[in-house]
Each structure stands twice: as structure tokens, then as C-alpha cells.
Structure 1
Amino acid sequence: MQGFFDGVDNVSGFIWGGTWNGAQILPVGMLAVMLLGTGAWFMIVLKGRPITRFLPALGEVWAGRKAQGVDGAITPWQALSTALSGQVGTGNLAGVATAITFGGPGAIFWMWVTALLGMACAFAESSLAVKYRESDPGGRLRGGPMYYIKHGLNKGKGGAKGAFGWLAVLFVFGTLLSALATGGMIQSNSIAQSALETGRQMSIDIPAWLIGIILSVLVFSVIIGGIKSIGSIAGKVVPFMAGAYVLLALVVLIMNAPQIPAAFGLIFSHAFGLEQAAGGAAGYGVLQAIRYGVARGLFSNEAGQGSAPIAHSTAMTSGPAMQGEIAMIGVFIDTIIICTMTALVLLVVPGAYPSAEGVVEFVWMSTELDASAKTTAAYAQAIPFGNYFVTVALFLFAFTTILGWSYYAETAITYLFGEKAAMPVRFVWVVVVFLGTIITDVDSLWRLGDIANASMAFPNLLAILLLSGTVLTIANNKDAPGKPLK
């Protein structure tokens, strides 16, 4: 088993950091180059649309509280909330702490870069998802990368047929692997571990299996109703949880305001190796910052990964361009706002104890805490009962992520086997959620999640690059909404 875990670590390191057995084989990981390169390409092709159309996109999000078209299952607002339910999860809490622990504060800068360029990818993939979405004989909508590969590149041939059928199937298997690892088990395990720790602090012994049963029942009560039920819950819970988290983070930052300029200084200096240059390790420091910043950035906002378009494809929108711009805002909210808040809290809150030399350290510097525990420690140190707040926030973040990814897994399976497979997937998903709560070692599961995300991102990025011309047509408002394809 250890050999398997070592293999997972090696593959993850090679994909994202260009390393193998700890040795630097490539300057930067292949996926990092492809992700940033594709984002830069669309930023240029779309003439900086994430920036020039940012304010109008905010207006579209507000208008999207009501249906903007007749075709679709949920409102644009609910589609955004469903996509955000998949995006805003443990990556915004534990993922940010992991990025800083292993990549240094500079990793946050590369998370920002990934998000900014990712907004351009988000426009491309989500607008294509609306244009090429498909309705079955029962009127149920399905969309996402496998469908714009099918209709945009593969001449309507489904499955593995045609010149690009393999690309759609590869994306489907990547989606299923990512759903199991990052969208299901990691999320439910994070909820269980947080609840167990809270129970220990209150001298209450809670069995993990009991947490698993309760969580599974809650999840099943929502996903049994399909995308309309998920969208309805997400539309209410996601705005509340994001707003509450940002407000509390602001309180912590105001209390530690004098440290904020230094925190930004750390982010920028470490991003370009200025801190490490004195010790002759500038190049290595930058590469580590890029690796973990891009990997954790994608894990958090999923831009370019191809998951969010599955949710956006179900929107009752006025057209592909509108929903593409709404998708851009989802990436901004997830990374530029929520992840940045977590990062700043980690960088400004002093630790509970001084170092061995008597110097006061900040929470992010602690060698006594696991990476995933640092966010909880920061809030606990900053405000009374902060650890309990993080427990609640983590539950809401992870719970909504589980809901969103259940639909992504369902869409992937139904692409291959039809709508008859939808209901069995919902029952299997409950089992996945339960198993995640009783896993005791998730370190390699995180690495497996990086591989799974890459296995989704590669076929999706290739597909949207091949469909660049269609994206440009949509962006120039030359593409009518049309009816969902049959």
C-alpha cells in the first residue's frame, strides 16, 4: 500500500511541480503551464473580458436571481450558487493553509494569477456548456465538457465514437475520480475530523460512523431531488455562508490591521523568490510557490477543470455569453475574496506560543500543527470560540461541495449510460460520503485529488482551446441562445 501512496505522490509531483522522487525533472509542472497558458490565451483572445466586463457581470449575477430565459432547470443565480457549492469547500480553508505551508506565502500570489486567468477560462467553458447543452426526451438538461466535445468537436457522436470520443470519455473518468476523491471523500472526512476535534474539546466521544450516518442522511435528503433541489439549497446556503465567513475574517483582520502590510509584503516577496535569494534558493522557492499556488488554486476555484460548466449549463439564461460572465464572478468570489481572506488571517495572527528562541511566530509558521489545522488555530487564537466558527464554516463549505459534486458525478455517468443511471448514482454517492468519514489517513487522498483534477483539466483545456473560435463568436454576441440540443 505504501508503494501505491509513493506512486501517487510522484505522479502528483510530476504533474504539478515537475518533480519525480524529489528530484526536479522539469522547471514547472506540465499542468501548471497548460492551465496558466490557456488562461493567458483566452485573456488575450477575449481582450481582457474578465476585467472589462467585470462590473456588467456583477449586474448579470444580480439579475440572474430570476429566470432570464425559458430553457433551463434553475435560475442563473442558482446555477452560480451550485457551481460555487462545488468550488467553495475545504480548499478555501485547509487548501490555503496547505499552499502556504508547502509553497510559502508566495503561493497566494500564484493562486491570484490562477484565478485571474481562470476567469477567462471560466467564461470559455461555461458559455460553451450553455451553447452545447442537451435535453433528453424527458426534458432533463445535461451539459458540460463532455457535451461540448460531443457536439462542438465530435459531430454529435457520443460515447467513445468519432475522432474526439476518447477526449469526452477521458473527461468523464477524470470527473468520477475527482468526485470520489476531492468532491466526496475529502469533504466528508474534513467534516468528520472537525466534528471529532470539537467533540474532544467538549469531552464528548463521538464515533466517526455516527457522523457518517447523519451526514449521509442530510446529503441524501437534498440530492434525491436532483439539480432543482440542489440548486434551491445552494441558492440559499452558499450566499449566507460566504458572506458570514468574509465578515468574520474582516473582524480578525481589523483586529490585526498593523500586520496586514507585512502580510502582503510576504506574499509578493516570496512569490518571486526575493526572500529566498539571500540564501541562494530563490529558484526553488519560486517553483514551490508556483506549484502549490496553481494546484491549490485549481482545487479551490476549479476554473479550467470543467466541473463548474456542468452546473452553469442548467441555467435559464438569456444566452451563453451571459452565463459565461456569471461564471467569471464565481472564480473571483472563490479565490480573490474567500481564499485571500483565509490567507491574510493565517499571515497576520500570531501563534499561541513563541519559538524556541523566544521570538513570536505567526500561525502559518508553526511546525507543531498540520497544515489543515492552521486555519482553525488562527481563528481560535484571534477571537473567542473561533475554532467553533471554523467548524461550522467547514461543515457548510464541505457539505455544499458534496452536493455540487454529486451532480457532477451523476452527469458524468449519465453521459455514458443514460438517464437510467441517475438514481443509482445518488445512492452510491451516499455510500461514498459515509466512507469518507471513517478514513483515518487522507494525506495521499489529497495527492490523488491533484491527479484527479489534472485528469479532468487536461481534456477540458484541450477542448476549449480547439473551440476558441466558437468562444470568440459567443463573446462577440453573434451566437443566439438557441434550443438545447437533442
Structure 2
Amino acid sequence: MLTPLQTAPLTLDERINNQFSEATSWFIDAIFAEIPITETVGIPWVLIVLILGAGYFTLYFKFVNFTDFFTAIRVVRGTYDELENPGYVAVSESVSTVDGDNPDTIRVEGEGEVSHFQALTAAISATVGLGNIAGVAIALGIGGPGATLWMILIGLLGMSSKFVECTLGVKYREVNAEGTVFGGPMYYLKKGLKEKGLGTLGKILAVIFAIMCIGGSFGGGNMFQVNQAFKLFEHVTGGTESFIYGRGWIFGLIMAILVGVVIIGGIKKIANVTDKIVPFMVVIYILAVLTILGMNYQEIPAAFQSIWDGAFHPEGVIGGFVGVLIQGFKRAAFSNEAGIGSASIAHSAVKTQYPASEGLVALLEPFIDTVVVCTMTALVLIITGVISPGMVMNDEQGVLLTASALESGISWFPYLLTLAVILFAFSSMISWSYYGFQAWSYLFGRGRRTEYIYKVLFCCFTVIGAAATLGAVTDFSDAMIFAMLVPNMIGLFILSPKVATELKRYRKLIRKK
């Protein structure tokens, strides 16, 4: 029996969490410093940058997110695949050439690594996930139903940011002798800014981005994902009475083994997994949500009315109108990652010689992630009545609240949600491992040894993520990922004219078809 001066020995999970929290607190505070809007409400400076950037790109490219939406769908469906044959080769004048052709393009023509659809699913697998489940519940809990409208708005604007960064990702990618593609913000920052006479700035920004991307892959792309998957699995198997309660490291070890088996194979293996998992997991989740909506179809008009009214005339909500708007903006931006630059890494591996074609494909991501999936989640939470204005919760409570909403319709739906969450987590982890490896290879080289060092570290962080408490993991995850936007946004603003040239080139090609 312990005396009053004695304490119970810390578990392994608790020791891991304490060390992790102490090491990351200063960085988290800097990234999420808030600019006060009212006496009670502030907005993180990173969110302001994302919103302003998304709005600027939407105007600069004359609402490409709407005007080229159906063109993007046709590209994914393969309508314009014939344009990729050698007879259509056209090289940007801004890139150095060999005998009139871009050396990278020479290697990519007819080769590449993944299709438009596979690149899209690989990138979607990293964004459509737990943020769409827990994040929406948190936004509605704090901001009320009206936060949904602002989430949709940011999702629509984010389509333009995603278009810009993914077009640049393909334009400035590199391909080695084996046909392996290396791309992403590291490369368009270094090569693109050099073309603008800003070579030193480009190199510095590329290194900063790569460091943050590696941290983001370990945090938001790995630890956060496995942590929430474990928490929900623990909850549906009995909570504190579960056989795995307090043994997160076991769950993490199993996930690490499964992830390791996939990521050893590179982007082709990852894409072959995600192009099957992503449609399946999204269908599972959407079918569950549609079932609840179908059972309560008479409540849907009232739910939309509450979203509209709550967006402009919130009552009894923390922070009033400004609070509702900020919660919607924050969760949408955190969910679709538009402007962060991460998705351009996956899209860089696509089989195409026209950068704008993949940029158009990429703009579908925020639409699927935020406009469709997040909105459906919000409707279920509103209709089932599990959300009440003024609720303040953490991410763990958010995912459990969504489970409760589904359970209100059919008792076994939480088990279906658990399967979806584990698949969401798994697909996000394997995609983010690719993002992190690309950044790692940029900094430390492309040899086999450096590759395996990164992948082993990634799997180790999977075990740590499942063992640590969610608060520590979430804060670190968000901070690392959103630190990536600083160098990326600088590059996007400077290089946007290059994107305009590529879009004009591809549109002209389509018209000739």
C-alpha cells in the first residue's frame, strides 16, 4: 500500500507521453500563436495565411475551382489520356532542355509511376480521415451548426491552393535513371525560385519545408492517426475494461508491422494499396452516414436551415459570429491541408507530361474531403442531436461523439466506424510515410540505407503514437504540419505565373483535341 508521499510508478505509456510533451511545447506555442479578433476570440496566424492564400489563388486563376471542375473529373476518368502520347510532347521554355526536350520529361513520357486516379487516391488517403470525423464534431461543438457553412467555403477556396501546389509539384519534379520520381515543394522551391533569381532563398525554404515535412510525417501523418484509431478501438472493445486498455504500444506495434510491409515498396506499392482502400473506406463511411440521414430524411431541411441560421445569427455559441466563422475555417483548413504542400509530393509521381493536368485532378481533393465528407458528418451530428452549442471537447471526445451519433441509428454502426477509422489511419500513414521519405531523401540522399533508416524511424513513431496521450500528439501533429505552410506559401505566390502558363498550355491542348 502506498503512503501519502508515494505515488504509483508510471506506466510505459505515461513515461513516453511526459517526455514527448516536454520536448515539443515551445514549438507548439509559436506555431499556434493567436491574433486577437475580439476580447474572447483569437485566430491562429497560420490560418490567416491559408485563407488569404486560398482567396488570392481563386481570384488570380479566375475561379479555376469552378470553371475547370468537370475538366478535372474528365482527366481522372482518362478522357484526355491520348494527349500523353509522344506526338503531343511540349516542353516549357522555362526549363533547361536537351535537344529541345526536358531531360526529366524524356524519362517520364510513357513511364511515370502512378496514374491520375492513383495519385488522387494516394493524396486523398492522407487528407480524408480522422479530421473529417473528430474535427467536424469539435467545430460544431464549439461553433454550432453554422460552422459547417464556413467549412464548406474554405473547402471550395482550398481547391485553388491545391491546384497551384500540385501543378508546381509535377512541373519541377525530378526522375532518376530507374524512373523513380522525386517531387514536392522541396523541388519547386529550389528550382522554381532559382529561375526567378532567388536561388539562395529557394534552397533555404526547401530545407525548412523538408525538415517540417519529416516532423509532420512522424506527427500528424502517423502518431495522430494511430492514436485516434487505438482510442476508438479501445472504446468499442470495452473502454477501461478492454483487453487492450493501457496497452497502446501493442496496437501501435501491430500497425507498424502492417505499415512497414506496404511502405517498403515505395509509391507504386502505396498507390496500389490506396486505390483500393480509399474508395472502400470512403464508401463504408458514407454508407453509414447515408443510412442515418435516410432514417431521418425529414430532418434534413431543418438541419440545413440550422446551418444557414447558425452561420450568420449564432445564439449561445462561444465567441458569437466570429467564433463560428473561425471554427469552421480552422477545421476545414486542418482537414484538407490545402496550401500545406504535402499533397504535391504524391501528385508529382503521376504519369503525365502536362503539369496542369494533375493540378486540376488535385483540386478535387478539398471538394471530396471538406465539401462532401465533412458536410455529411455535420448533418448526422446535427440531426441526431448529439451536439449542443457551447460544447468544448478534445479530438478523442470528437471521434467518440461521432460514434455515438451513428449508434443512435443502428447499434452496431460504431464497429463499422471503427473499421473505417482504422482504414483511414492506415491509408493516411502509408501516404504520409511517402511524403516524409521524399523530404528525408532531399536532405540526406536517395540511397537505400537512408531510405530504410527513415522507414524504420517511421514505424517506431507508430508505436510511440499509440502509447502517448492524444493531447500531446495532436498539438505536435498540427504544429509540424502547419509550419510547412510558411515556405510553401512563399513559393506558391512567387511561382503562380508559372502555373498560369501551364494552365493556358493545357487548356489550349484540350481545345485542339
- Is TM (by shorter chain) over 0.5? yes
The answer to whether the 8 A contact 2:75-2:81 is kept is: no
2:212 to 162, 168, 174: 174
Structure 1 counterpart of 2:132: 92
Instruction: Quote the offset at 1:335 in angstroms.
Output: 1.0
1:454 and 2:469 are equivalent in the alignment: no
Report the CA distance shift for 1:470/1:165 in structure 2 as closer, same or farther (over 3 A).
Answer: same
Q: Which runs of 5+ in 2 are unaligned?
A: 1-17, 85-108
Find the counterpart in structure 1 of residue 235 from structure 2. Answer: 197
Q: Which whole-Å CA distance do the structure 1 matches of 2:330 and 2:80 have between them?
A: 32
Residues 162-195 of structure 1 show CA distances to partners (whole Å, capped at 9, x for unaligned) of 2322111111122122212211101011111122
In the alignment, structure 1 residue 302 sits paired with structure 2 residue 337: yes
Is 2:376 the partner of 1:324? no
Which residue of structure 1 lines up, in the alignment, with residue 89 of structure 2?
none
Decide which of 360, 375, 388 is 1:340's aligned counterpart: 375
**Mapping 1:386-425, distance limit 5 Å:** 386-420=413-447, 421-425=450-454
Tell me whether 148-157 or 401-410 shows the greater mean CA deviation.
148-157
1:350-361 map, 5 Å: 350-351=385-386
Instruction: Give the deviation of 1:333 after TM superposition.
Output: 0.9
Q: What's the CA shift for 1:100? A: 1.8
Aligned pair in 2 of structure 1 residues 106, 363: CA closer, same or farther (>3 Å)?
closer
* 1:275 counterpart = 2:310: no
Instruction: Deviation per CA, 1:145-168: give whole Å up to 9, x if none.
Output: 1110111103599xx972322111
Once residues 324 and 55 of structure 2 are traced to their aligned partners in structure 1, the CA distance between those partners, rounded to angstroms, is 19
- C-alpha distance 19-479 of structure 1, shift in aligned 2 (>3 A): same
Query: Alpha carbons of 1:208 and 1:450: their partners in 2 closer, same or farther (altered >3 Å)?
Result: closer
Q: 1:348 to 1:143 in 2, by over 3 A?
A: same
Shift of 1:308: 0.5
1:370 correspondence with 2:397: yes
Match of 1:18 among 17, 35, 55: 35
Does structure 1 residue 213 correspond to structure 2 residue 241? no
Q: Distance in 2 between matches of 1:402 and 1:3?
A: 25
- Which residue of the other structure, out of 262, 267, 270, is the alignment partner of 1:222? 262
Q: 2:505 aligns with which of 469, 477, 480?
A: 477
Q: Which residue of 2 aligns with 1:128?
A: 168
**Identity within the alignment, %:** 34
- Aligned counterparts of 1:478 and 1:382: Cα–Cα separation in 2: 48
Structure 1: how far apart are the matches of 2:249 and 2:25? 28
Shift of 1:204: 4.7
Please point out which of 413, 423, 426 is paired with 2:455.
426
How many Å separate the matches in 1 of 2:378 and 2:466?
27
2:98 paired residue number: none
What residue in structure 2 maps to residue 105 of structure 1? 145
**Residues 19-58 of structure 1 correspond to what in structure 2 (within 5 A)?**
19=36, 28-58=43-73
3-state SS of 1:383 partner:
coil
Distance in 2 between residues matched to 1:7 and 1:428, nearest whole Å: 23
CA distance in 2, matches of 1:96, 1:384: 22
Once the two structures are superposed, residues 62-113 of structure 1 have per-residue CA deviations (whole angstroms, 9 ceiling, x without a partner) of: 1189895514111111111110111112111112112222333232222212
Structure 2 CA distance, aligned partners of 1:24 and 1:6? 23
2:289 pairs, out of 235, 238, 249, with 249
For 1:59 and 1:131, how far apart are their aligned partners in 2? 21
1:153 is paired with a residue whose SS is helix
User: By how many angstroms is 1:434 displaced?
Assistant: 1.2
Change (3 A) 1:427 1:3: closer
SS in 1 for 2:484: helix
Match of 1:356 in 2: none
Poorly superposed stretches of 4+, deviation over 3 Å: 1-13, 22-25, 64-69, 201-204, 362-369, 478-481
For residues 254 and 308 of structure 1, what CA distance do their matches in structure 2 show? 34
Contact residue 228 and residue 470 of structure 2 kept, 8 A: no
Query: Which moved further from structure 2: 285-294 or 209-218?
Result: 285-294
The 3 A distance-change label for structure 1 pair 423 and 7 is closer
Judge which range, 182-191 or 296-305, deviates more.
Answer: 296-305
Answer yes or no: is the 8 Å Cα contact 1:473–1:479 preserved in 2: no
C-alpha distance in 1 between matches for 2:156 and 2:380: 21
Once the two structures are superposed, residues 226-276 of structure 1 have per-residue CA deviations (whole angstroms, 9 ceiling, x without a partner) of: 11100100011101111222122111111112222232233233333x123
RMSD of aligned Cα (Å) = 2.9
SS of residue matched to 1:18: strand
The answer to whether the 8 Å contact 1:64/1:75 transfers is no
Between the two proteins, the alignment pairs up a number of residues equal to 459
Cα distance in 2 for residues equivalent to 1:80 and 1:166: 29
* Distance in structure 1 (CA, Å) of the matches to 2:47 and 2:326: 7
Name the CA distance, whole Å, in 1 between partners of 2:335 and 2:57.
Answer: 20
> Does structure 1 retain, via aligned residues, the 8 Å contact 2:111–2:179?
no
Larger Rg: 2
SS of the residue aligned with 1:244? helix
Unmatched runs of 5 consecutive residues or more in structure 1: 352-361, 482-486
Equivalents in 2 of 1:321, 1:239: separation in Å?
A: 24
